[in-house]
Amino acid sequence: MPSPAILFPADPLNPRRPDPHFAWEARLLRDLGGVHHLVDHDALLTGDADDARGAVRRVPEGVGPLWYRGWMLPSARYAGFAGALAARGGNLLTSPAGYAAAHELPGWYGVFEGATPPSAWIPSGNDGDGAAAPGPRELEAAVARLGGSGPAIVKDYVKSRKHEWHEACYVPELADLAAVGRVVGRFVELQGEFLAGGVVLRRFEEFDRAAVNGGEVEKRAVEARVWWLDGRPILVGPHPDAPHQVVEPQLAGVSSLVRTLGCRFVTTDLARLADGSGWRVVEVGDGQVSDLPRGIDASGLLTSLIAA
Ligand SMILES: Nc1ncnc2c1ncn2[C@@H]1O[C@H](COP(=O)(O)OP(=O)(O)OP(=O)(O)O)[C@@H](O)[C@H]1O
Ligand SMILES: [Mg+2]
């Protein structure tokens, strides 16, 4: 079987070049002897089958096995992407079902339950398009599933609005249903058409924290991002939000969970509980669309991908 090639998003301003955000990765891949092709990310996002075909027109016919390294795609768009590639003999090594399982919290939560903060979710019932906020009854039921009291955070199936922490992310007390409704309502409003899947409430846990950018005002959880291929860690580094942080997570309990999930290429973000009692999985992601921290040595990761 030929070595997998890697697909990167093209620069919207210069479609023959990789998007500037991924240019260093594409260059490193070439230096390592790998092959890349470019796809049109904007065209993949429309959801139209003709656009998906056009998005992959620069990928050679009969290319064989493929990985993607690029911007996030909604799971339905990833399925269209895989279909358009298959029609020209390209085989994404992460299936659409595998992508959804790693990318969306309800897809991985069952496997990681107990190792990740308890979570409850409310499907929005449509795929973006400015979903309505959940009603008070649905929120009350979700709060009850989390035990009814204590602090929590709000996100959708994929992303939070951690930069609007007090307004649209952090809930100081779940028992205050009016406050839960305000934070969730603001979150849904700000996500707008980009709301992925539905609203998730997660019990807040106290992690080790460090000042962001050396500042003193805001302190964020110190997270390690671990990259897994076929159940083995191929890169352990900081979270891209704090690329210079030194992290040494314990992986012992996590690797068996990653193997159970069964997706070939995933990331896990890990944080240490402030009471020193261990490491928690903050979230799981598809390795193809997880951001790499600036300045990290990704040669081992890319070498593993093209040898897979
Ligand atoms: N259950 C929790 N308890 C405490 N802090 C949390 C919890 N969940 C998330 N956080 C904090 O909020 C941040 C954002 O949450 P999360 O990583 O789930 O969202 P995100 O928007 O997907 O982030 P990313 O940039 O990693 O993709 C985390 O980095 C962590 O600092
Ligand atoms: Mg995160």
Overall pTM surpassing 0.75 (yes/no): yes
- Best probe residue, ligand 1, of 160, 204, 267 (max atoms within 8 Å of C-beta): 160
The answer on 196 and 143 residing in a single domain is yes
Residue with tokens 């990761």: 301
The answer on 216 and 194 residing in a single domain is no
Task: Give the chain's domain count.
Answer: 3
β-pairing, 279-286 with 265-272? antiparallel
Q: In this structure, which amino acid lies at residue 246?
A: V
CA of 112 to the centre of ligand 1 (A): 16
Range of the domain at 55: 5-93
CA of 95 to the centre of ligand 1 (A): 26
The answer on 215 and 195 residing in a single domain is no
User: Nearest ligand, CA of residue 160?
Assistant: 1
The answer on 143 and 76 residing in a single domain is no
Strand partners, 119: 202
Question: Given this model, what pLDDT does residue 220 score?
Answer: 80
280 lines ligand 1 (CB under 6 A): no
Residue 297: inside a domain? no
CATH of the domain at 287: 3.30.470.20
CA distances in angstroms from 179 to 79, 135, 151, 257, listed in the order given: 37, 13, 11, 35
The answer on 145 and 222 residing in a single domain is no
CA of 277 to the centre of ligand 1 (A): 19
Question: Given this model, what pLDDT does residue 234 score?
Answer: 98
Residue with tokens 């028992």: 175
160 lines ligand 1 (CB under 6 A): yes
The answer on 199 and 140 residing in a single domain is yes
Strand partners, 155: 160, 200
User: Nearest ligand, CA of residue 150?
Assistant: 1
CA of 140 to the centre of ligand 1 (A): 22
Nearest CA to ligand 1 atom 11: 221
The answer on 69 and 29 residing in a single domain is yes
Question: Given this model, what pLDDT does residue 130 score?
Answer: 64
pLDDT tens, N- to C-terminus, the chain (308 residues): 789 999 999 999 999 999 999 999 999 999 999 999 999 999 999 999 999 999 999 999 999 999 999 999 999 999 999 999 999 999 999 999 999 999 999 999 999 999 999 999 999 976 555 678 999 999 999 999 999 999 999 999 999 999 999 999 999 999 999 999 999 999 999 999 999 999 999 999 999 998 766 555 567 889 999 999 999 999 999 999 999 889 999 998 999 999 999 999 999 999 999 999 999 999 999 999 999 999 999 999 999 999 99
Residue 140: inside a domain? yes
The answer to whether the CB of 121 falls within 8 A of the CB of 201 is yes
Question: Given this model, what pLDDT does residue 216 score?
Answer: 52
Question: Given this model, what pLDDT does residue 211 score?
Answer: 76
The whole-angstrom separation of Cα 139 and Cα 4 is: 45
CA distances in angstroms from 28 to 35, 62, 250, 298, listed in the order given: 10, 24, 29, 8
Question: Given this model, what pLDDT does residue 126 score?
Answer: 61
The answer on 219 and 194 residing in a single domain is no
- Boundary (domain end) residue, out of 136, 171, 203: 203
